[in-house]
Structure 1
Amino acid sequence: MKIPRIDRRSAVIGLLAAATTPWAMAQADTAGNYPAKTLKMVVPYSPGSVTDTLARMVSERLSQRLGQPVIVENRPGASGQIGTAAAAAAAPDGYTMMLAPPTHIINSVLRKMPYDPIRNFDPVIQVARSNLVLVVNAATPANNLKELVSYLKAQGDNATYASAGQASTLHLYTAQLQQVLGTSMRHVPSKGVPGAIMDVVQNSVTVVLAPMENAVRLIKSGHLKAMAQTGKSRFAEIPDVPTFAEAGLSSVHSELWYGLFLPAGTPKPILAKLNREVAAVLAMPEVKTQLLTAGTEPVGGSPEQLAALCRSELAMWTDVVKRNGIKAD
């Protein structure tokens, strides 16, 4: 049976139209010419943040490997919500990526978001990890975690812990730690991570569970004493500080992580190519050295591994927020 001429013409027009949609063009890119133009890596935080520093390290080498510029675009505001929403709304064609820390998941636990951190993003690869380190003022009468816990329990609610602010990442991480330690420290929110650390240096707050990159120099200089660090292994810059597991608390292993994401629906071949290329960047000796200097370590892995991490984090932080009655300002 012959197709009427008008139907054949309509079919041809339909095929031509379909070939110009973003999805079709992205599929064409998978045939071998991706990327064919400049790529953008969204960072939902200000220049100079750890996430921004990592993005610039990775983007420079990734640009060299892909043969196209990879531009870092800072979109700060609302604890990362503005940049994340922009990345979620971008075309799923492989030309917009986002590098994000755990707040990518935590925000959705604390607030109603215009996006879903799981459904609206395709994980690519975990770029890096960083331990948190529990530190006290150099004059604190404790030299290890066991002694510190005894001291904190004796102090009751006179003992305090600092954070970067109400419902901040450090607030949630320390609330989770306090559940395990069985202490009753009062929360003292500060203005940002540097302020929280300085509160302990000045001995106005008892402890802070600090990001490694912010605390390591003060530990080495003797201004702070490190009791234990999170993570499954010791950070290379402070090898004498035990992990919580080594100090007898195997249930404490949370760490900061930094993941690369694409808008949901990005063609799988493009996602796979970016995973391979970023993994190659992370394996470069000079990149490993730069990451360590910045207080982080390269990770890598598959998209499925990052997806599993995100699901696990969502369940964990939902429980922590509920148990501690934490609410955003």
Structure 2
Amino acid sequence: MALNARKVVVLVLALGLVMALSVTGCKREAAVGDYPARALELVVPYPPGGATDLTARALVSVLPEFLGQPVVVVNKAGAARLEGGEYVSSAAADGYTLGLFPPSVGWPEVHFNETPYTSEDLTIICRVVVHPTAIVVRSNSSIQTFDDLVARLATPGFQYGHTGVGANPHVTMTALAKALNAEVVPVPFKGDAGVAAALAGGHVELGVTTLPGILPQIQAGNVRVLAIYSPTAVTELEGVPTLGELGYDLEVPYADSMICGPKDLPAEVIAKVEEAVRQAVEHPSFKKIMGQMYTPVAYLNYADYAAEMVTTKEAMKQLMQELGLIN
């Protein structure tokens, strides 16, 4: 009898465990099905005011219409921009913590020798826009044209400000200097706002930054654009050439902004975010703001962007090694 009683107890416990696991699984499925059921965070790895921050704020102004919940921008600027990436990579894989990242944060192992996380710790959901990179000087600078800049770069030790080590402006200028056989001194600042402040304060004569981040200074007449790094010219900047038009084909990937989440995001969450972003970037309000920022909308969905990244990441890694920026 005692043996039978023990068998009954074991059987009851086993059945209870199975039921508990079943209930947990149902709750998880219900939770994913109800996603999103509360507000989301969209992490920006820069201070307020730069291109990525402005794009994020434009996006969250329309995204709730398609997600059905508020989305709040959270700025986490520090540790070479990787603080924001680490925050998202360590978040719960429930879709409530996302990031709007440049490649240097989305694929940090391609841009830095040592990183607290890699792209394998993230889910890269889609691309939103591509930010043109601008090479600028103060309006009162004696450097009037790109040819003037080339002449100045012939003297070793010329300093320029950029948005952070490994970021697209830094890589672009490093590649350009190599093409010109010029020796330059890069000075990193915290994002576009830091470069703008350094230019205004006379701390550097040249700035290499994203175009939207320096645009208010351009429109105010405080800085002059010598050239941009972009697949196409910006019609609003009459007479400003692209580096390609000037004969410099640098093979530096352009400055994407991508939506990322933690790894192991459920497929249903990825699909919902992907579709909501697709609809948001087509919203007239978002497109108007991007137009005002001289930034082309360049949406790519999860599958297409993943396919593109296979070659882009490898090309970027090789370039970073050739330029001596990583081992």
TM class, shorter-length = 0.7 to 0.9
CA 1:160–1:252 in 2, change beyond 3 Å: closer, same or farther? farther
Asked if the contact 2:44/2:75 (under 8 Å) is kept, the reply is: yes
Cα gap change, 1:220 to 1:83, in 2 (>3 Å): closer
> 1:14 corresponds to which letter in structure 2?
V
2:126, 2:260 within 8 Å by CA — same for their partners in 1? yes
Equivalent residue, structure 1, for 2:115: 113
TM-score by length of 1: 0.80
Shift of residue 38, structure 1, vs aligned partner: 2.6
Aligned equivalents of 1:95, 1:265: Cα separation in 2:
13
Q: Where does the alignment leave 5 or more consecutive residues of structure 1 unmatched?
A: none
1:27 aligns with 2:25: no
Kindly report which structure 2 residues correspond to 1:7-156, keeping only aligned pairs within 5 A, or say none. 7=11, 10-11=14-15, 13-20=17-24, 25-30=27-32, 32-105=33-106, 107-108=108-109, 109-117=111-119, 119-136=120-137, 139-140=141-142, 143=145, 145=146, 147-148=147-148, 151-152=151-152, 155-156=154-155
State the distance in 2 between where 1:258 and 1:303 align.
Answer: 13
- Provide the C-alpha distance between the structure 2 equivalents of 1:287 and 1:105, rounded to a whole number of angstroms: 23
Asked whether the equivalents of residues 26 and 93 of structure 1 are also in contact (C-alpha less than 8 Å), the reply is: no
Structure 2 match to 1:248? 247
Measure how far apart 1:253 and its partner are: 5.7
Q: TM-score, normalised by structure 2?
A: 0.80
Q: What is the identity percentage for the equivalent residue pairs of Structure 1 and Structure 2?
A: 21
Aligned to 1:306: 305
Shift of 1:233: 1.4
**Which residue in the other structure is 1:283 paired with?**
282
Q: Is the 8 A contact 2:163 2:170 kept in 1?
A: yes
Task: Flag the 1:287–1:158 CA change in 2: closer, same or farther, 3 A.
Answer: same
Counterpart Cα distance in 2 of 1:247 and 1:223: 24
Paired amino acid for 2:184: R
Aligned partners of 1:123 and 1:259 also within 8 Å: yes
The CA deviation at 1:98 is 1.6
Q: CA deviation at 1:281?
A: 0.6
Match of 2:291 in 1: 292
Gaps of 5+ in 2: 1-6
Pairwise CA RMSD: 3.4
Tell me which amino acid in the other structure corresponds to 2:93: P
What is the CA deviation profile of residues 210-255 of structure 1, one whole-angstrom value per residue up to 9, with x for unaligned ones? 3102333444555544332112112343253222222323345643
Match of 1:185 among 183, 186, 193: 183
Aligned AA (2:272)? K
Code of the residue aligned with 1:132 in structure 2: it is: T
Q: Give the whole-Å Cα distance in 2 for the aligned partners of 1:25 and 1:76.
A: 36
SS of 1:259's equivalent? strand
How many residues end up aligned between the 2 structures? 317
Q: Counterpart of 1:68 in structure 2: which amino acid? A: Q
- Alpha-carbon distance change, 33 to 327 in structure 1, aligned in 2, over 3 angstroms: closer
Shift of 1:75: 3.2
Match in the other structure for 2:3:
none
